[in-house]
Amino acid sequence: MLAKNVGMTINDLARKLGLDFLKLKLPINRLKTRNIGVDLDQKQVNILIRYFSKEAIVPEPVCKFIINQFEQYHKVVSSEEVAKENLLSKRDFRDFVKGLNKNEKFIFLKDNIFAKTEFDAIKKTKIKKLVSLFLKSKISKNIYTSAFVHTFDSKTKQKVRAKINIHLLEGIRTKTWMQGQVVGFYNLKHQDTLPIVALYNGNIEVVDAVKHDPRNRKPFTFIPRQKGKKQPVIWAFNINKLVNSASDHKKKECSSQDHRLFHFINMLMETLNDNKISCEFTNGGSPRDPYIKIVSDSVTFDINKFNVSETDTKKEKESKIKTYGIPNLVNTEEDIYFFTSKKYIFVKKNFRENKAIVVSNSVKIQAGWLPKKDIKIMKGLQEIEGLTGIPVDILVGELLTQWYEAISASYKLEVGCSGSNQEILSYWLRQGEEEEK
């Protein structure tokens, strides 16, 4: 072996790493092909690549760099391994990793000459976050509201052949008895549909078996909502806000309120189901910022139903607290407004009966007529409905509101003061006549 300041032969370096010397050929070539180690003397690198052999000398700086890369290689994992471990399609996940933007690649990937490809060096410490990011893209495109999925044996924690019907946003338990909310469904080619679950610890995972939470609850059977029949209440569940609310509590002392947003969703789902309230579920948003929307009729929360009572057994009390927390009218109202908009709803509080009533603020307007040449407006609204989950009738109302505000602002700018409804509309008609001329 040569002196330290000179370096060592490729064969000696391979022995030091516990490899056959030929196993170093590709990694050394990658110093050039992947632009890894740009601070090294490129002349030395070129010579090493060109004259690769057992006795070729690896200069000390290059030698140190290769040893460091080999050590770092044990801190990364391939996309294939991550996919297998997390019940994902290998090709699907690999394509996702390839499509990461520059900043995301810096966060999740590590340049390494021993990795088969540049996408096979995922930092082990970032696996859960990367899988969550991948699943968010699937949540935004999810089209299923329910599915039959495998359950598991409570004693052995093993998946069984029996299946149960679970619904979007339903509270469940995993095989490790962790609590979570179903936020989507994942289809593996020629295999079962698997639930995508937002766990109370802030992670998003695909799991192969679940149980209802609480276990004795029967499957939900929601009544489809007829559009335009009743004033709608729109609930929007942003997945990032939901999992971030769980992550914020990781370092805090565990309490019944640590997972309040999850608890509220459980209350809402139970209320919609038990009171036979018409509703519809849709997924939407962007691949990095997905959400789930529920459009329902008015909702009345009976807080007493979700609080523990003197007649409850010890197990029933524990189950209620784990599923619903310790709700009251004040925090329930806060959670209602967190998932809705004060613009479209208001909450009536009945302190005597301990109930919160959510009512729509919307008013039904007369339908209009569109010229055939402008039918693209309706098609555009239908596309937005598909992306956001907001019904077309609500979008039309929002469009009219924004249009009227714009016309009012234009009138005030030209005249110098606010006008009556008649003056503003007359101004708009005059503008239209002038444009036609």
Q: Which neighbouring-strand residues pair with 196?
A: 184, 206
Q: How many domains does the chain have?
A: 5
pLDDT above 50 (res 430): yes
| 329 and 248 housed in the same domain | yes
**Same domain, yes or no: 134 and 145:** no
pLDDT given for residue 256 in this prediction:
42
- Which of 251 and 72 is assigned the larger pLDDT? 72
State percent of the chain over pLDDT 70.
93
Answer whether residue 246 shows pLDDT above 80. Answer: no
Are residue 239 and residue 325 in the same domain, yes or no?
A: yes
Q: pLDDT tens for residues 11-45?
A: 999 999 999 999 999 999 998 888 788 888 889 98
Q: Is the pLDDT of residue 212 over 60?
A: yes
Domain C-terminal end among 360, 392, 407: 360
How confident is the model at residue 4, as a pLDDT? 44
Tens-place pLDDT, residues 159-188: 999 999 999 999 999 999 999 999 999 988
Residue 377 in any domain: the answer is yes
Domain end: 123, 138, 153, which one? 138
What are the pLDDT digits (tens) for 364-418? Answer: 776 677 788 878 888 888 888 776 667 777 788 778 888 888 888 887 877 777 7
Within-domain flag for 366: no
Tell me if 224 is assigned to some domain.
Answer: no
The pLDDT assigned to 191 comes to 79
In a domain, 43, yes or no: yes
pLDDT of residue 258: 60
Whether residue 99 contacts residue 93, with contact meaning beta carbons closer than 8 Å, is answered with no
Q: What is the pLDDT of residue 393?
A: 75
- Residue 143 placed within a domain: yes
Residue 219 lies in a domain: no
- Mean pLDDT, to the nearest integer, of 341-359? 92
Range of the domain at 256: 233-360
Same domain, 83 and 120: yes
Same-domain status, 241 and 349: yes
**pLDDT tens-place string over residues 116-148:** 888 889 999 999 999 999 999 999 999 999 999
